[in-house]
Amino acid sequence: MKCLRCGACCRHFIVEATIGDVRREPRIDRECQILDGHGTILRQQASWSIACGKTSPCPFLRSDNRCDIHKTKPRECRQFRPGEALCAEARQAERARKVLLAGKGKA
Ligand code: SF4
Ligand code: SF4
């Protein structure tokens, strides 16, 4: 399946970025949360949460549903395949979000 560029996968999943991803794209460190650091683990061992779920999409998702760091995005994002089960799950979650917003008069 061809990607529909709906942005659902960037709105509904947490992406775990590794230190290698952060070295390639320093904006991840500046703009995203460390997952489980609690200040006690070395930054070099940390991983970063770069998408936070239904109410807060990935900070790099642009309003046209393109990725603002496309060329340097995390490996997890590179490996995501349109048409596979997670893509379908994300699109279903996005449909549910839109129904909810429509119910609140925000769609
Ligand atoms: S959810 Fe699937 S179709 Fe939509 S942007 Fe992601 S990969 Fe493409
Ligand atoms: S980094 Fe780009 S591809 Fe990955 S979740 Fe964010 S917007 Fe989507």
The helix/strand count (H/E) of the chain reads as: 5, 3
End-to-end CA distance of the chain: 27
Our answer on whether the CB atom of 37 is closer than 6 Å to any ligand 1 atom is no
In a domain, 90, yes or no: no
Instruction: Report residue 47's pLDDT band, with 50, 70 and 90 as the boundaries.
Output: confident
In a domain, 101, yes or no: no
In a domain, 61, yes or no: yes
| Count of domains forming the chain | 1
Our answer on whether the CB atom of 17 is closer than 6 Å to any ligand 2 atom is no
How far is the C-alpha of 53 from the C-alpha of 13, rounded, in Å? 5
How far is the C-alpha of 104 from the C-alpha of 107, rounded, in Å? 8
In a domain, 56, yes or no: yes
Instruction: Name the token pair of 99.
Output: 């129904």
Instruction: Report residue 58's pLDDT band, with 50, 70 and 90 as the boundaries.
Output: very high
Structural domain boundaries, residue 33: 11-80
pLDDT, average across residues 2-6: 95
pLDDT surpassing 90 at residue 51: no
Which residue has a Cα nearest atom 5 of ligand 2? 10
Q: In what order do the strands lie in the sheet with 16-17?
A: 16-17, 48-49, 33-34
Which residue has a Cα nearest atom 6 of ligand 1? 9
pLDDT, average across residues 16-30: 91
pLDDT confidence of residue 55:
61
In a domain, 93, yes or no: no
